[in-house]
Chains A and B, each alone.
Chain A
Amino acid sequence: MYKLAIRAYFDNGVCNEFETRLERIHVIESDSDALRREIEKQLYSNTLIPDSRGNVLNLIERVDELLSVYECSLWDLQIEKPQIPKEFHEQFIKLTRMVIKAADEVCLSSRAFFNSPHDVPAYNHKVMLYEKEADMISAELKTAIFSSDIDLSLKLHYREFVEKIDGIADKSEDIADRLAIYAIQRIVY
């Protein structure tokens, strides 16, 4: 959904397709907030998983924040409507693809935490790999932006968007770091 929204923006700016995708992500984000509150209520009212409750609530909160990072970066595109030159589009899409891969792996890692904590390190390893790749792409993109002849204010504006998209991979890495500790705590010691 996010990848399609970014692609739609680079193809046609803030068009109908972009608006629809953004609206869909907004609905998902709102639903996830409601779901998070319901889970919190259930965990406390039924005194479920007392030893892992703190970790689970923390994880849910962080995954919810990851969704917010997605939504915020699209909102900023909608509000600020940066006219990013065509020469950077491919790099932006490449960066988007990589951060989404990192986020997808962290979702799989979160799922593994509940079912098979022994598998968490394998997923986390992939998150780290994709995050590193995303960092490299964002560094290349920023270098390209600042090496171009465009106005400095625009360069700074574009850099901000590179960092916003790259923020998804950073957030995924943060969650993976937490998950690594939570998984160790879950594995019988």
Chain B
Amino acid sequence: MDPLVLIFLTSGLFLGWALGANDASNVFGTAVGTRMITWRTAAIICAVFVILGALISGAGTSQTLGKLGAISALPGAFMTALSAAIAVYAMTKSGLPVSTSQAIVGAIIGWNLFSSNPTDPATLSKILLTWILCPVLAAGIAIVLFKSFQFASKRIKVHMILSDALTRLSLIFAGALGAYALGANNIANVVGVFIPANPFPVFMIGSFEISSTQQLFLLGGLAIALGIFTFSKHVMMTVGDGLGRLSPTSALIAVLSHSIVLLLFSSQNLESWLIEHGLPSLPLVPVSSSQAVVGAIVGITLLQGINAVRWSVLRKIVLGWVLTPIAAATISFIGLFFLQNVFNLAVV
């Protein structure tokens, strides 16, 4: 294998690391912040299930990204992932909430613009639609779950200590589900752009064949896990500051809604089941885990009244969502120009 491949892959792994550091907080931040689960337990569960999600269910969303722009040259894929990582880093630095999904989509569009490759309007509109649909759907699911929980809690009398134990167990279950969904849905952001370049030879363990894509998914999953172990502690501890303090029950509902939405947008089995039964299916698109959590929290807060929502914070969040893809596309375009014209590397 060309050692250059590993160098090119570093940008994707860097993006994976950033995703692990930031998005693990969407899954376990509230549970760790409210001291319901220790950071160590959360990190182990999150890392294991992110890798499992990436390996088992990561293919669906990767195909959609491939349709948006099939980057066949490794240097091009390197710059695309790097632009997304830079955009994520810059937005985080300026205190704006960021989504790796939006950053990578923006970066791919930047590559399309640079390479004069037409962006498939159907795929793009499908992706853009999910960015609106994802938080709205998360809010809707959170409202339904919250109301059901309220209804049940009025009728079922559970002692506080037992309820505490059940909430902890549920947070671990929902967190594991969330981590699996994160791995399944967001692995495409991390290594999706490298799939068309097919950088690894097929690897055999006994009679098992491990394809280049599976190796990429494993590597991406490990990068996310590294991000979780090395940098997520601080983010998890402070996650509640911006959006306000949540009760453990609300935290559980937020994480559950987030996980359900992410799974809905990444499960190939669910998609085929819906199609089989003549139901409208959801597109398999990498959606933002942050958008899902924000949507769920806004949904829960809306139940307390329209004024309970901190609209100024929400405006800032939405601004971040609009700026991220634009910034990533711009960085990608400029970066590819340099890579091609200064370093003489084939990016298309």
Chain A residues within CB distance 8 Å of chain B:
47-52, 56, 113-116, 118, 186-189
Contacts and interface: CB of A to CB of B under 8 A. Distances in A.
Considering the complex of A and B, which 3 residue pairs feature the smallest CB-CB distances, nearest first?
A50-B35, A116-B157, A114-B160
Interface string B143-176: 0001001100110011111001000000000000
Given A188-B150, A188-B249, A51 B157 contact: no
Determine the main DSSP class of A at the interface with B: loop
Contacts of B304: 189
B57 interface: no
Interface residues of B, number: 19
B149 A188 contact: yes
B36 interface: yes
A187 B160 contact: no
B35 A47 contact: yes
Nearest to B158: A115
A11 B327 CA distance: 88
A51 B150 CA distance: 18
Nearest to A53: B35
Contacts of A56: 160
Contacts of B153: 187-188
Interface in B93-146: 146
A49 B163 CA distance: 9
Interface string B210-249: 0000000000000000000000000000000000000111
B72 interface: no
A64 to B, nearest CB: 18
Given A50-B36, A189-B304, A115 B149 contact: no
A108 to B, nearest CB: 14
Contacts of B146: 188
B34 A49 contact: no
Contact of B247 (A48, A51, A113): A51
B250 interface: yes
A52 B247 CA distance: 10
B160 A49 contact: yes
Contacts of A51: 34, 247-248
B160 A186 contact: yes
Determine the main DSSP class of B at the interface with A: helix
Contact of A49 (B149, B158, B164): B164
Contacts, number: 37
A178 to B, nearest CB: 16
A115 B161 contact: no
A186 B249 CA distance: 10
Interface string B29-62: 0000011100000000000000000000000000
A100 B159 CA distance: 26
Given A48-B161, A114-B160, 10 more contacts: A47-B35, A50-B34, A52-B160, A114-B161, A115-B159, A118-B154, A188-B153, A188-B249, A189-B247, A189-B250
A188 B167 CA distance: 13
Contacts of A118: 154
Contacts of B249: 188
A122 to B, nearest CB: 14
B161 A188 contact: no
B236 to A, nearest CB: 15
Instruction: Pick from A47, A49, A52 the residue with the most CB of B within 10 Å.
Output: A49
B157 A48 contact: no
A177 B116 CA distance: 70
Contacts of B157: 115-116
21 contacts: A47-B35, A49-B160, A49-B161, A49-B164, A50-B36, A51-B34, A51-B247, A52-B160, A56-B160, A113-B160, A114-B160, A115-B158, A115-B159, A116-B157, A118-B154, A186-B160, A187-B153, A188-B149, A188-B150, A188-B249, A189-B304
Contact of A48 (B149, B154, B164, B250): B164
Contacts of B250: 188-189
Contacts of A187: 153
B44 to A, nearest CB: 18
Contacts of B164: 48-49
Interface string B244-270: 000111100000000000000000000
Contacts of A49: 160-161, 164
A81 B149 CA distance: 57
Contacts of B35: 47, 50
Contacts of A115: 157-160
B310 to A, nearest CB: 16
Contacts of A47: 35
Nearest to A187: B153
Nearest to A50: B35
A118 B164 CA distance: 17
A132 to B, nearest CB: 29
